[in-house]
Amino acid sequence: MYATSGHGSFDGEKKEIIRRAFVSQFDDHLARHYYIDGLRGEAKKIALPRDLVV
């Protein structure tokens, strides 16, 4: 479990935790497809190409 700093965006902190978890398991070339993108208050998206979905 991770605690937040109380400063800045909790949303951004969660995205960074997920990003670090993927980078620790895969190289950045593959991990970047799983990064969560989107501005605060807007819809989030993951840029996973359809050919990687099984």
**Which pLDDT value is given to residue 24?**
92
Beta partners for 37?
Answer: 45
Instruction: Give the mean pLDDT of 5-16.
Output: 68
**Max Cα-Cα span within the chain:** 39
**Which pLDDT value is given to residue 8?**
52
Percentage of the residues of the chain whose pLDDT score is greater than 70 = 81
pLDDT higher than threshold 70 for residue 3: no
Instruction: Say how many Å lie between the first and final Cα of the chain, rounded.
Output: 29
Instruction: Give the mean pLDDT of 27-31.
Output: 85
Q: Has this prediction a pTM greater than 0.75?
A: no
Q: What is the CA radius of gyration of the chain?
A: 13
Q: Two tokens at 28? A: 């950045």
**Which pLDDT value is given to residue 27?**
85
CA distance 44 to 47: 10
